[in-house]
């Protein structure tokens, strides 16, 4: 084996390790870690970047960026790493609709304006405010602004109570606060959010991973409709 071939294989192995870190989602490129060293190579060595990008493409992944939180990979729809509803707990059709709406609602609440996609500062969200935002947005949006699955999800959400207690006083399934709480927990599992217990039990930091994923999906009709409502509400708050 020649030295050049050996060097190429070394790069391939390093690229695979970097992609593995990205897929781990909760891994963080702290100073002095192997993850940080590989991430720095990706940012500064064009040849290594090409190897990583090519390997990711072959695996059905796309590199969206390399913010402070690490390399952000998005799977192709239908690819081996794509998130499927079957990966979640068993849900009926209405629960799936609500889950999707809450996910889009969190994105719209946190990033209502295009400039927000360029802001590396983490956004804070909390369960109660997301629920309040979604209910207000659903009431404000006329039927033509949400059609198909989005309108069906909005109708289901609006008909659900905000809070149904369990015998221990927690949120029971079948209320929207529990649905928002569940989506936030899922985002934490995906490395797209972190719990912020010092700010309250229902407060979460959204990570750069989530910001880049939302930016990549901008243009989705339901997302844009909810972003418009959120942006208008922000303007009213600032002018008032």
**What does the pLDDT look like over 176-230, one tens digit per residue?**
999 999 999 999 988 889 999 999 989 999 988 899 889 888 778 899 999 999 9
89: in domain: yes
pLDDT tops 90 at residue 77:
no
Tens-place pLDDT, residues 31-49: 999 999 999 999 999 999 9
> Same domain for 111 and 216?
yes
> Same domain for 131 and 184?
yes
The β-bridge partners of 205 are: 124, 194
pLDDT tops 60 at residue 82:
yes
185: in domain: yes
In our burial notation (b when 16+ CB lie closer than 10 A, e otherwise), range 202-225 reads bbbbbbbbbbbbbbeeeeeebbeb
121: in domain: yes
> Same domain for 106 and 172?
yes
Q: What does the alpha-carbon distance between residue 37 and residue 26 come to, in Å, rounded to a whole number? A: 17
> Same domain for 91 and 147?
yes
> Same domain for 160 and 129?
yes
Q: What does the alpha-carbon distance between residue 39 and residue 157 come to, in Å, rounded to a whole number? A: 41
Q: How many domains does the chain have?
A: 2
Range of the domain at 125: 85-239
> Same domain for 134 and 192?
yes
> Same domain for 154 and 177?
yes
31: in domain: yes
In the prediction, which pLDDT does 1 show?
Answer: 45
What predicted TM-score, i.e. pTM, was given to this entire model? 0.83
**Given pLDDT bands bounded at 50, 70 and 90, which one contains residue 80?**
confident
pLDDT tops 80 at residue 124:
yes
CB neighbours of residue 97 within 10 Å? 20
Quick one: which H or E segment has residue 144? none
- Residue pair 98/160 in contact (Cβ under 8 Å)? The answer is yes
In the prediction, which pLDDT does 83 show?
Answer: 64
pLDDT tops 90 at residue 26:
no
Among candidate residues 98, 65, 13, the one with its CA nearest the CA of residue 215? 65
> Same domain for 34 and 89?
no
> Same domain for 71 and 21?
yes
Token pair in block for residue 90: 């068993």
The β-bridge partners of 123 are: 206
33: in domain: yes
Q: What does the alpha-carbon distance between residue 51 and residue 200 come to, in Å, rounded to a whole number? A: 43
């Amino acid at each position: 084996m020649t030295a050049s071939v050996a060097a190429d294989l070394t790069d391939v192995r390093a690229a695979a390790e970097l992609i593995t870190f990205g897929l781990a989602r909760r891994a963080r490129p702290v100073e002095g870690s192997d993850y940080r060293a590989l991430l720095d190579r990706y940012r500064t060595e064009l040849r290594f970047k090409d190897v990583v990008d090519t390997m990711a493409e072959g695996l059905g992944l796309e590199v969206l960026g390399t913010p402070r939180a690490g390399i952000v990979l998005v799977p192709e729809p239908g690819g081996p790493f794509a998130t499927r509803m079957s990966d979640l707990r068993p849900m009926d059709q209405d629960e799936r609709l609500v889950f999707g709406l809450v996910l889009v609602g969190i994105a719209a609440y946190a990033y209502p304006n295009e400039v927000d996609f360029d802001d590396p500062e983490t956004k804070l969200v909390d369960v109660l405010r997301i629920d309040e935002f979604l209910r207000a947005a659903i009431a404000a949006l006329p039927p033509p602004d949400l059609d198909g699955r989005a309108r069906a999800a909005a109708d289901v959400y609006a008909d659900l109570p905000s809070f149904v207690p369990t015998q221990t006083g927690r949120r029971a399934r079948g209320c929207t606060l529990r649905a928002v709480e569940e989506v936030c927990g899922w985002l934490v599992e995906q490395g797209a959010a972190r719990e912020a217990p010092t700010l309250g039990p229902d407060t979460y930091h959204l990570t750069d991973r989530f910001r880049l994923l939302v930016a990549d999906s901008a243009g989705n009709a339901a997302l844009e409709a909810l972003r418009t409502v959120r942006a208008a509400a922000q303007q009213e708050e600032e002018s008032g």
